[in-house]
């Protein structure tokens, strides 16, 4: 019996491992990964049943619930639907059998797993591991109890006893989840390395470009300022217009330099509320210009250790973009503590962004503004990354955008918080 259980374990695990190495690693498209996961989970479910040689509706090992749970948690309802369609076509259309028991147990399991599906990928890897084991344990006993109650109620106590089948059932889930998390993490690290390499290359180019232009622009600007002395009328206006354009060019060059060297220079402990208060004061003219309702909320004693000016620069750029996007709308900024991090949520009800625009956000030289350099947000992201912070954008076209910035918390003695 032990030999059969481990052989069935192999037939369950192998198709999903094959999916991880053939699809998950090499395919970046989300819907392709969902289709691949659904097909391979369906293959794993059929492999388990066919190996048993029990082609009636008798799920004696109940291993089909392992790929069932995996397809829903990691691929969503699309992968679940594909896996179930594949399973029922092969299992019942080809060989026949009754649907009632399989559908009843599957629906119960799917309903329970759906309760944790929406927030599953937001949990830490070890938490996801424990969740999958708990759901696998639950699915096994739901199936055992359902079958025993409907067929032989005298065996109910025996069905609840810990069995070798349950050990292998949990082992299969643990092995599959472990490999899934390893592959997902490996893919994330590879993508982060590619982004980092691109950033470094673009930073070196930006630095060289900015330094070569800054010196001649400074000279030209100085001579133009000297030339304004004694000039009147149209000539003076022309010089002033030229100086304004040079100031704009200098602003762009400063963006290049900030992009090339976003490192933290002066580290100190400070309250997030203080920085938000300064940002709100400095943006008062902009708020009046765009007719925006800027609302800021901040919990007390939110301390971080970083370069105050850099953090202010990063947050100012994000809030500035939200104000420009909302245009006579509302911008809400909220600072709070969550899981050992200081979180800042910046929400606007502006025009929003498409999925394609969100994917390009923060890419060097990409901007949705007509006169944008595409470096402002990139610099902000690099500053946040320099202190081990994280950020996340969510947006819907025509509905608005929400930015969540997570910064590492630094505990300091309680102190009064500045009202924002």
pLDDT tens per residue, range 165-176: 677 778 888 888
CA distances in angstroms from 171 to 51, 66, 363, listed in the order given? 18, 10, 42
> How many C-beta atoms lie closer than 10 Å to residue 117's C-beta?
16
Q: What is the pLDDT of residue 264?
A: 54
End-to-end C-alpha distance for the chain, whole angstroms: 68
Q: What is the pLDDT of residue 346?
A: 93
- Confidence class of residue 242 from pLDDT cuts 50, 70 and 90? confident
Q: What is the pLDDT of residue 152?
A: 58
The answer to whether residue 334 scores a pLDDT higher than 90 is yes
Residue 377 near residue 361, CB atoms below 8 Å: yes
Average pLDDT, rounded, for the chain: 77
- Confidence class of residue 405 from pLDDT cuts 50, 70 and 90? very high
Please, what is the Cα angle at 358 between 355 and 363, to 5 degrees?
140
Residue bearing the bigger pLDDT, 394 or 50: 394
> How many C-beta atoms lie closer than 10 Å to residue 193's C-beta?
10
pLDDT in tens, 88-132: 787 666 655 555 566 777 888 888 888 888 888 878 888 999 999
Residue bearing the bigger pLDDT, 163 or 294: 294
Q: What is the pLDDT of residue 336?
A: 92
Q: How far is CA 3 from the centre of its chain?
A: 42
Residue 329 near residue 347, CB atoms below 8 Å: no
Read off the pLDDT of each residue in 8-34 and give the average, rounded to a whole number: 69
Q: What is the pLDDT of residue 56?
A: 40
Read off the pLDDT of each residue in 50-68 and give the average, rounded to a whole number: 60
Domains along the chain with CATH numbers: 2-193 (no CATH), 195-260 (1.10.287), 268-408 (3.30.565.10)
Residue 75 near residue 33, CB atoms below 8 Å: yes
Read off the pLDDT of each residue in 339-365 and give the average, rounded to a whole number: 81
Please, what is the Cα angle at 381 between 30 and 313, to 5 degrees?
150
Torsion angle in degrees (nearest 10) through CA of 297, 301, 302, 308: 100
The answer to whether residue 46 scores a pLDDT higher than 80 is no
The answer to whether residue 70 scores a pLDDT higher than 70 is yes
The answer to whether residue 1 scores a pLDDT higher than 80 is no
- Confidence class of residue 267 from pLDDT cuts 50, 70 and 90? confident
d(CA 219, CA 225): 10
d(CA 239, CA 298): 46
- Is the model's pTM score more than 0.75? no
Q: What is the pLDDT of residue 345?
A: 93
Could you tell me what percent of the chain has a pLDDT over 90? 6
The answer to whether residue 10 scores a pLDDT higher than 80 is no
């Amino acid at each position: 019996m032990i030999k059969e259980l481990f052989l069935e374990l192999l037939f369950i695990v192998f198709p999903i491992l094959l999916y991880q190495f053939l699809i998950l690693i090499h395919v970046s498209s989300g819907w392709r990964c969902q289709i691949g996961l659904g097909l391979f989970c369906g293959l794993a479910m059929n492999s388990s049943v066919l190996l048993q040689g029990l082609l009636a509706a008798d799920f004696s090992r109940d291993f089909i619930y392992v790929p069932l749970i995996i397809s829903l948690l990691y691929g969503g309802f699309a992968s679940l639907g594909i896996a179930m369609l594949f399973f029922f076509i092969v299992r019942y259309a080809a060989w026949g059998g009754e649907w009632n028991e399989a559908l009843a147990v599957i629906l119960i399991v799917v309903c329970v797993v759906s309760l944790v599906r929406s927030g599953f990928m937001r949990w830490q890897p070890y938490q996801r591991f424990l969740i999958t084991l708990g759901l696998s344990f639950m699915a096994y006993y739901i199936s055992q109890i359902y079958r025993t109650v409907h067929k032989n109620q005298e065996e109910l106590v025996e069905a609840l006893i810990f069995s070798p089948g349950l050990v292998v059932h949990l082992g299969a889930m643990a092995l599959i989840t472990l490999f899934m998390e390893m592959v997902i993490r490996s893919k994330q690290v590879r993508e982060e390395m590619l982004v980092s390499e691109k950033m470094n290359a673009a930073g070196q180019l930006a630095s060289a470009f900015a330094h070569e232009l800054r010196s001649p622009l400074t000279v030209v600007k100085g001579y133009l300022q000297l030339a304004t002395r004694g000039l009147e009328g149209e000539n003076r206006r022309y010089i002033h217009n030229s100086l304004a354009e040079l100031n704009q060019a200098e602003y762009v060059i400063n963006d290049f330099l900030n992009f090339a060297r976003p490192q933290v220079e002066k580290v100190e402990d400070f309250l997030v509320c203080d920085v938000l208060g300064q940002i709100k004061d400095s943006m008062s003219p902009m708020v009046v210009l765009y007719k925006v309702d800027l609302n800021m909320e901040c919990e007390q004693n939110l301390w971080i250790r970083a370069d105050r000016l850099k953090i202010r620069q990063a947050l100012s750029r994000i809030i500035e973009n939200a104000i420009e996007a909302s245009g006579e709308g509302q911008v809400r900024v909220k600072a709070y503590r969550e899981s050992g991090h200081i979180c800042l949520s910046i929400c606007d009800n502006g025009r929003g962004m498409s999925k394609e625009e969100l994917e390009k956000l923060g890419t060097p030289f990409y901007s949705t503004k007509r006169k944008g350099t595409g470096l402002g947000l990139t610099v902000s992201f690099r500053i946040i990354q320099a202190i081990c912070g994280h950020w996340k954008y969510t947006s819907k076209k025509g509905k608005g955008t929400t930015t969540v910035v997570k910064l590492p918390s630094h505990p300091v003695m309680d102190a009064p918080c500045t009202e924002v």
